[in-house]
Structure 1
Amino acid sequence: MSSLLRVFGALTTLPLALVLWTLYCLGRNHARARSIGLPITVRFITPGGPLWMIFSPLVIHVATYLPFTASFIQKYRRGWECRERYRTHEEHGELFTICTPGGNFVKIGNFEVADDILKRKDDFGRDLEAFAVLNIYGKNLATTEGKDWMRHRKVAAVTFTEKNAELVWGESLKEASQMLVYWMERAKKPIRTLAQDTQIFSLNVLAAALFDRSYPFEGRQESKLREEATSSETKDGAFGYRDSIATILHMIVPIMVFGERKLRDSWWLPKGWQKAGYAVANFRKYVTDLINEERLSIAQGKAGSANLVTNLVRACEDERSGSLSTESSTNSKAILTKDEIISDLFVFAFAGNDTTALTLAYILAELAAHPSIQDWISAEIRHYTATEDVTNWDYTTCMKLKRCWAVMYETLRLSHPINQLVKNTGAEPRIITHRGATYLIPAHTTVEINLPSLSTMPRHWGSDSLEWNPKRFITPAHQFEDEIIPPDTTSTFYPWAYSRLVCPGKRFSQAELVAALAALFRDHRVEPVPEAGETMQEACRRVKTMSEDIEQRLLSEMREPEKIALQWYQAKN
C-alpha cells in the first residue's frame, strides 16, 4: 500500500511542480514585459517549445472535438498570425508584447519600426535559438552571426549565380510539364495530392540544382513503388539525396530533439524516426562524396558546372587562392570547412525546397479559385512563347512574364511560408521608437516582425487587403511590354527578407515558380471539383478559404491540403 502511495505521490508531484514552475516563469516574464510599457497579452504555452512543436497538432486536433475550446484553438494553434493577419494588431496595437513561460515576444506591426530594427544589425541580431533546428550538420549561414555569418554569406553570395538560375529555369519547365502530364493522365481523380506533388516537383528541381542531374516527375505512390523496387546497393545518389532530404525535412523536429545517433540506435523509437537518423547520415555521405569529386576536378583543372555543390566548393577554393577579397586580415578566415559546406548545402536545400513547394501549392490553390486570373496570365505566357515546347523557352523569358511575377508576389503577400522575421535584443536592452514614444526592450528579448500583419494592413494595401488580387502589383498598359511591376524587395514589401539579410537564393525560387506557372498555364487550366450539391462558384470560395487556413509546423502551410480536390483540363485558346 505504501508503495502505491509513493507512486501516486510521485505522479501527482511532477505535474504540480511543472505547473508551479510554469507560473513562476510566467510571473517573472510578466514583470519584465510590464517594464517595456507596451500592451501585453499572455500565453500559458511557449509557442516555439520543442515539445509543443511536436505535439501541438495532436492537442489542437483533440481540442476541436471538445466544447468551449474555440478561444484556445485560436490563440494556441501555431501560425495564428497567418490566420489573424492585421486584426491582432488592431486589437492590441501596432506594437505589443506576448508574455509566455519561455520568454517574451515583442510583436511589430509597423513598417517604420520594422525598417529601423532590420537596419540596426548590431542591436537586433537574429534569434539564433529559433534557428537551432537547422544545426543538424553544425553551424551555417542561418545559425551564425558576426564574422562567422560574413564568412558564410560571402561564399553564398557567389554560389547563387545567374547561370544557376538558368539551370533552375530549364529544369523547372521540364518538371512542371511532366507534373502536368501526371495530373492529366496518371494521377487518381480528383487530384488531392497538391501539397505532396509540389514538394516532389521542388525536390527534383533542387536535385538538379545541387547535383546537375535530372529525374522524371513521379507521384508519391509511384515514388514509393520505385523505392520498394530499388535496393540500397543500386540506388542512385540523386534519388538517395531526394529521399533522404525529404525524410529530414519531414522529421526535422525529432532530429533536433533526439539527435542523429539516438534516432538510429534507439530501438524503442518509431521506425520512421529511426529512418530519419539514417537519412541524416546518408545526406552527409552523398554531399561529402560530391565535395571530394569537385575538389578533384579543380585539382585536375576541369571546368565546373552551374550546380550549387560546384559553385560552393569552387567559391571556397577561390577564396583559398585569394581571388575573393574579405574584410578580415587573412583569406583563410573566409574559407568554409567541409562540415560547414555540408551544413550550408542542407540549409540551401531546406530553404529552397519547402518554402518553394509550399508557395507553389498556395499559388495553384488560389488560381483554381480564380479562373479569370488563369486567363490573365495565360495571355501573357502565350504572347512571349511562340511554341508549346518548353525546351525552346529561353531564360530571358522569365523576366518578361510580369503577370506571373505578380501572382507570385500576391501569394507571398497573403500566404508566406515564413510568417515572422525573428530578431533578438542580445545581451543589452535596446531602444525602439514608435509614434514619438520610446520603449526600452530588455536584454534577451525576442522581437518578431509580423509579416502577415504588415502585408495586409488596409491603410497600406487598401480596403481589399485580404483579397487575393495579383493585379494590384501591375501597372496596366496597352502592350504587355509596357506593363510595370515593382521591385521584389522594398521597405514595405520583403517576401525574400530585406536589407543585408535578403535571401541569397531568391532568384533561384523566382525562376522556379515563374517557370512552373508558365509551363502549367500556357495551354491548360485547373478548377476545383465541387462537392455534392455545390456550384462551381461555391467550390471556388471553399478552395480559397481552405488555401488560406494556415497552420505552422516548421513553416506555415495549408492545414488540410488533401481536402482540396482539383482537376486539370486543356484550355480552348
Structure 2
Amino acid sequence: MAWLSLLITLSALPFTFVIWTLVCLFRNYMIARSTGIPFTIRYITTHGPLWLLFSRPIIRILSHLPFTTSFINIYRRGWEGRSRYRNHMNFGDLFIIVTPTNNWLKVCNAALSNDILKRRDEFGRDLEAFEVLNVYGKNLATTDGADWNRHRKVAAVTFTEKNNELVWRESLKEGSQMLEYWLHRSAKPIKTLAQDSRIFTLNVLAAALFDKSYPFESAAESKLREKNGKKDIASEYRDSLSTILKMIIPILIFGEKKLREAWWLPETFHKAGHAVKDFRTYVTDLINEERVLIAEGKQNSPNLVTNLVRACEEEGDETIKTAGSKPSRTILTKDEIISDLFVFAFAGNDTTAITLTFLLAAMAANPKIQDWVSEEIKYYLKGSDVSEWNYAQCVKLKRCWAVIYETLRLCHPLSQIVKTTGNQARSISLDGKSYLIPAHTSIEINLPALQTHPRYWGSDSLTWNPKRFISGSSMETEVLPPDTTDVFFPWAFGKNVCPGKRFSQVELVAVMVVLFRDHGVEPVPENGETVDQARMKTGVIAQDIEQRLLHEMRQPERVAVRWFERRSVA
C-alpha cells in the first residue's frame, strides 16, 4: 500500500503542475487584458532557469520533427534579436507577453523608452533578471538603491584611462598573435571565429584584471598544453573563469557545493563547481596581497584588482591593522569585491567576444567596408610596427568606431534593458494615451526593435552599413555621432552607463586595427557557391541570433573564412 500511495503521489505531481501553470497563466492573462495594451501568450516561461538549461536540446530535437516550425520560432530563446522590429509592426510600440510566471511589457518607442529610463524611482531595475550573476553574491549588476550606489561609486574609479592604455597595448599584441594563428597555424577554412574571439577577450581581460599576459593559443592548442601537463597557477585562473562563463546556467540552478559534490551530476558539472572555488581562491589571494601592500604604503602595478581594492579602502582593512590602530571603514566587503570582479570579467569577456564574432562575420561579408576601414587605419597609423601605435590615435579611427556601432545596432549581446514596476502600478503615456501598468510587471526596452525600426533608421534599417554613422567629405573632417542617442544606447546611459564602456570600445578598435590594416578576410565558398553567394550566406548567418545567456550568433561554426594579406598599392 505504501508503494501504491507513493506511485499515486508521483503520478499526481505533473497533473498538479499543469493545473497550477494554467491557473497562473489565466491570472496573468486577465491582468494583461485589463491594461488595454495588445498582448500575446507564451505557455512556457522562456526566462526560467529550467528552460535556460534544456531549451537548446529540446529545440534541436523538435527541429527534426514536422509541424514544429511555429513553436521553434516562438520559444527559441533570442527571438527578439531575430525578429528585431517586426513584432512591433504587428502589435504596435507596446505589447505584453503573458507567461505563467510573469507579464513582460515590450517597448519600442524612443520617447517612452527615455521616459521610463529617467524615472528611476518608479521603474527600478528588475533584479530577478540578473540573478544568474550572483555566483559570488550581490554585486553592481544585482543590487539597487543604496547598495547599488556603493558598488557604482567604486566601479566609477576602477576603470581608468591608464587601464584603457593597457587594454590598447594588450589588444594589439593579442590581436597580432590571433592573426598569426589564423594565417599560419589554424585549420583551413577557419570556422572558429567565435572560439578564438573568446580566447582573445579572455587574454585581454587577464591583463586588465590581474596584470597577467598570455600568448594567444587556440582551443585545440590549450587542450594539448593541458595534456602535456603544462599548467601553472596563473593559467588556472584563465581556465577557471572560462569554465564558469560556459557553465553559468548550471551554476545558477545547482549551486557551487552541489556541483562539486553531487555524484549523479556529469563530470563537466563537477569541473564547474571546482572552477567557482578556484576563481574565488585566486582572487582572494590577490586581494589580500594588495591590502598588505596598502598597509605597508607600497604601490602595486595598476590593474582592475588593485584599482578596485584601493578604491574600497579608506585606511586599510581592520583584519591587517596593527594592534591599537583605529578601525577602518571598507566601502565593499571582500566577498563583494570578488563578486564585482566576476561581473566585470563576465561583462568584459562575453559581451565583447560575442560582438567581435558578429563584427568579423559582417566584415567578411562586406569587402568594401574592409577597404574603407583599411584606408583610415593606414592614414592615421603609418608604420606597421604595432608597438609604435599610440593609444591617442584610438579616438581618431572614426570608421572603426562606426563598424562597432553598426554591429551593436543590429546584433546587441544584451538585447533588452530590463526594468520593473515594482510593488505598485505605474502610469505611462504613448501618443497622447495613458496606460496603467500593473505592479510586478517586467518592462523591457527592446533594443533590437528600437535600433532597427524604419521610423528611426530608414528603409535600409536591417542592412549592416557602418557608413550610416559617418558624415563629412574627407578623412580629416569626418564626424562620428555620440555613442548615446534617443534611439541608440548600446552601453546604456546616465547613471546606469556601463562602467567598462571605454574598455570594450578600446579593445574592439585595437583588434580591428591589427586585423584590417594590412589584411582582409573573406568567406570560403562551399558546395559550388560563388564568392558573392558565400558573402550573402555569411551575412545571413551573422544576423541569425540565439540567446544562451546572452544573444549571440546561433551557428558561428557555419562561418567559413580565410585571412589574406592585402596587396600594397604604390
What band does the TM-score fall into relative to the shorter chain? Answer: over 0.9
Greater shift in the superposed pair: 539-548 or 304-313: 304-313
Q: In the alignment, what sits opposite 1:481? A: 476
For residues 65 and 452 of structure 1, the distance between their equivalents in structure 2, rounded to whole angstroms, comes to 28
Q: 1:33-52 residue pairs with structure 2 within 5 A?
A: 33-52=32-51
Offset of 1:3 from its aligned partner? 8.6
Offset, 1:300: 2.2
SS in 1 for 2:29: helix
Per the alignment, residue 524 of structure 2 pairs with 529
Cα distance in structure 2, aligned partners of 1:269 and 1:476: 59
SS in 2 for 1:163: helix
Matched, 1:555 2:554: no
**Cα separation, 2, equivalents of 1:334 and 1:452:** 40
Preserved CA contact (<8 Å) 1:398 1:511: yes
Residue 348 of structure 2 contacts residue 500 of structure 2 at CA under 8 Å; is this kept in 1? yes
The separation in 2 between residues aligned to 1:227 and 1:450, in whole angstroms, is 43
Match of 1:408 in 2: 404
Q: Tell me the distance in 1 between the aligned counterparts of 2:269 and 2:456.
A: 45
Q: Are 1:139 and 2:135 an aligned pair?
A: no
1:300-379 equivalences in 2 (<5 Å) = 300-318=296-314, 335-379=331-375
**Residues in 2 aligned to 1:84 and 1:41: alpha-carbon distance in whole angstroms:** 15
The reply on whether 1:214 has 2:210 as its aligned counterpart is no
Provide the residue aligned with 2:321 in structure 1. Answer: none
**Contact 1:165 1:507 survives alignment (8 Å):** yes
Q: Letter of the 1:441 partner, please give it.
A: I
Q: Distance in 1 between matches of 2:533 and 2:3?
A: 60
Partner AA of 1:125 in structure 2: G
* Residue 173 (str. 1) matches residue 169 (str. 2): no
1:157 is aligned to 156
Shift of 1:440: 1.0
CA offset at residue 318 of structure 1? Answer: 4.1
1:509 maps to amino acid? S
**Deviation at 1:476?**
2.8
Aligned to 1:326: none
Between stretches 64-73 and 410-419, larger displacement belongs to 64-73
| Secondary structure of the structure 2 residue equivalent to 1:439 | strand
Secondary structure of the corresponding residue to residue 135 of structure 2:
helix
Q: Does 1:546 align with 2:541?
A: yes
Runs (5+) with no aligned partner, structure 1: 322-330
How far apart, in 1, do the equivalents of 2:219 and 2:484 lie?
A: 35
Shift of 1:60: 0.9
- Could you say which residue in structure 2 is the equivalent of 1:518? 513
Q: Confirm whether residue 123 of structure 1 aligns to residue 119 of structure 2.
A: no
How many correspondences in the alignment? 559
Deviation of residue 65 (structure 1)?
A: 1.0
Query: Following superposition of structure 1 onto structure 2, how do residues 279-298 of structure 1 map, counting pairs within 5 Å?
Result: 279-298=275-294
Query: Does the CA contact (< 8 Å) of 2:314 and 2:328 recur in 1?
Result: no
Query: Percent identity, aligned pairs only?
Result: 62
Report the CA distance between 1:9 and its aligned residue.
4.3
Q: 1:345-365 CA deviation, whole Å, 9 max, x = no partner? A: 000000000000000000000
Query: Counterpart amino acid of 2:535?
Result: C
**Does structure 2 conserve the Cα–Cα contact (< 8 Å) formed by 1:43 and 1:98?**
yes
- Aligned counterparts, 1:556-571, within 5 A: 556-571=551-566
Unaligned runs of 5+ in 2: 318-326
Question: What is residue 457 of structure 2 aligned with on the other side?
Answer: 461
| Equivalent residue number for residue 324 of structure 2 | none
Q: Match for 2:199: what amino acid?
A: I
Distance 1:551 1:285 in 2: 33
Whether the aligned pair in 2 keeps the contact of 1:320 and 1:335 (CA below 8 Å) is no
Task: Give the letter for the 2:290 counterpart.
Answer: E
Q: Secondary structure at the match of 1:226?
A: helix
Q: d(CA) in 2 for partners of 1:190 and 1:173? A: 24
User: Which whole-Å deviations, capped at 9, do the CAs of 1:347-398 have from their partners, x for residues lacking one?
Assistant: 0000000000000000000000000100000000011111111111110111
Query: What corresponds to 1:186 in structure 2?
Result: 185
CA distance, structure 1, for counterparts of residue 2 and residue 367 of structure 2: 69
Task: Tell me whether 1:509 sits opposite 2:504 in the alignment.
Answer: yes
Amino acid at match of 1:456: T
Alpha-carbon deviation of 1:148?
Answer: 0.4
Give the aligned partner of residue 324 of structure 1: none
User: Residue 8 and residue 336 in structure 1: after superposition, are their counterparts in 2 closer, same or farther (change >3 A)?
Assistant: closer
- Which stretch shifts more, 163-172 or 485-494? 485-494
2:386 pairs with 1:387? no
* 7-16 vs 84-93, greater mean Cα deviation: 7-16
